Amino acid sequence: MLCRYGAGWLLIWSALVAATLARVSWTPIYPASNNQIDLWTLRDSGCPCPFAPSQRTCACCSVDGGCPCGRAAPSRCAQCGLQQHCTNMCNITLDSQLLDSTSGKKYGQIKMVVASGPLYCWYRFRGEPATRIEVQVYRMMRSGKWTNSTG
């Protein structure tokens, strides 16, 4: 009897989870092509520099919300509205209305530059009223070293 009772609840729980997941809409945050460096940077060089338009040594930014980082990081682009944080993606407020007006996106993507830690950063999230704020964290520590050997 206990086994049937447990299996019944498991079936109901599975149906509820499936129904809930069917209604959840996830924000797709990924590059448009495999050749793209990241969501905002198409190539790390070959485009005019905002600080020296005659030079074509700066990053090429995505026309869909990417802005150049400028002199601080000429080979990198960031989300428009966050490009002032290119060299230090810590202590940032992500405001959905500001990001929508600058990049056309209601979401923000923070991509840390290589840093050694420990590191302390704070982030503030401001969404429009009655909207969900979703945070995705990717963390890789001591991932090892890649070698191109077949030994």
**Residue 36 — pLDDT band, cuts 50, 70, 90?**
confident
Which three-class secondary structure state does DSSP give residue 131? coil
- Please, what sign has the CA dihedral across residues 108, 137, 62, 78? positive
Mean pLDDT of the chain: 75
Please give the pLDDT value at position 66: 93
Token pair 């996830």 in the structure block, residue: 26
Q: Is the pLDDT of residue 9 over 50?
A: no
- Predicted confidence (pLDDT) per residue in 135-144, tens digit: 776 655 555 5
Q: Is the pLDDT of residue 13 over 50?
A: no
Rounded to an integer, the average pLDDT of 118-134 is 82
Contact 103, 65 (CB under 8 A): yes
**Residue 68 — pLDDT band, cuts 50, 70, 90?**
very high
Please give the pLDDT value at position 3: 47
- Please, what sign has the CA dihedral across residues 12, 16, 21, 22? positive
